[in-house]
Amino acid sequence: MGSNSLDDDTISKYLYTTYRVLWEHASEKEIIKEVKILDKKFLNKLRSFSWNKALIHKDEKEKLSIIQSIPSFMIVHLLPVMNIDFLKKNVKFMNRIGSKIEVSVRVNNLYRKLSSKDLSTQITEKFNKDKIDYRKDHDIPEMFWIPLSQKNRVVRNYFYQKGFLIFQDKASATVIKTLFPREEDRICDMCAAPGIKTSLIAQYMNNKGHILAGDFLLERVKMMKILLTQLNVLNVHIINTDSIIFPIRFQNHFDKILLDAPCTGSGNLLANPELKWRQNKKFLRQNLILQRKLIESALKLLKPNGIFVYSTCSLYPEEGEYQILDFIDYLEPLDLPKWVSPSYKINNNTVPGTGRLFPSIHQTQGFFIGKFKKK
């Protein structure tokens, strides 16, 4: 029976049955009870299904796409910048359903200390008391790694409930380490919501200086306002704005600008697996146009010799290296944190001032980061 002759509801039932039989080994009795259809020919085919037979005539790209449920567009698009084995490692990391996963959580010290004892020490003592496994990050002192299976324990932990802890991916925190905020800075966070990066900027500034945090979507701005209030962020001015046409009268105004730009999310499939099915040429093109306009806006707002940090949670070179190359005449490259890997080679050369975090190497989201001084 061809798929064209089936309605959407029936197709969904067949897909559900396939999942239950192949992955959860459900019985015919269970399927009948749950789906209320029984096509014995279909079930017999499922029972005799063999991946070895199904993939025997497929090439490596097709096999990877099918086995790891990754769109072929993404695979074909990344092969020019990473070999097939490295691509497999990154894809497998982003598909780690059911495996031992660690998540990162960082200390928020924007409240007054509870006592003279160091806040991190108090938190680790509480972790030990609550039997929460943890390890400190080697590069970011205020960050801990815990098993995903124990995340609920952290959520119930006193320090999380009071705003002294917040979950944040290490790649996201690395972006702020790269920005290197200081107390005297005037900083613009152009696409700031939901505000986790913004809160870390404020933390490194000790709630001093000035941060202007904007975002296009009002609902996300409302979420950011709630989060920053919960974390006791005091030096941020929040605006609901289109950062392409930033609503201030001055150019050359900010000491530092962070543009964590909207992107395809091709490096963030572990947290947002639904993004897999948006990976196509049209979606990539839409984001490239938006990113370019945002970079143009950022360079107008930034002071001469000001610091510009550009990042995307994308593995595609178009959303990283190639975007920067289009503006390289206006930018002086600066050093990145030592744990960041080199970026892709474009025409056999890496792009100065840029680097990447890879899921399989850094156990983070896939991120592109560039740091520059405005000429």
| String of DSSP letters for 251-297 | SS-EEEEEEE-----TT-TTT-GGGGGG-SHHHHHHHHHHHHHHHHH
User: Among the CATH numbers 3.10.129.10, 1.10.3720.10, 3.30.530.20, 3.40.50.150, which is that of 172-374?
Assistant: 3.40.50.150
Stretch 201-219: mean pLDDT = 96
- Give dist(CA 239, CA 233) in Å, integer: 15
Residue 179 pLDDT more than 50?
A: yes
pLDDT level of residue 337 (50, 70, 90 thresholds) = very high
Domain boundaries, given as residue ranges, for the chain: 3-49, 172-374
- Give dist(CA 322, CA 345) in Å, integer: 11
**What is the reported pLDDT for 53?**
78
Q: Are 199 and 106 in contact (CB under 8 A)?
A: no
Q: What are phi and psi of 58, to 5 degrees?
A: -90, 145
Residue indicated by tokens 């499939």: 269
- Give dist(CA 227, CA 203) in Å, integer: 14
**Catalytic positions, please?**
313
- Give dist(CA 267, CA 270) in Å, integer: 8
- Provide the 3-class DSSP secondary structure of residue 105: strand
Candidates 259, 225, 255, 229; CA nearest to 240 is 225
Q: What is the mean pLDDT of the chain?
A: 90
**What is the reported pLDDT for 2?**
47
- The tally of CA atoms less than 13 A away on the side-chain side of residue 211 is 30
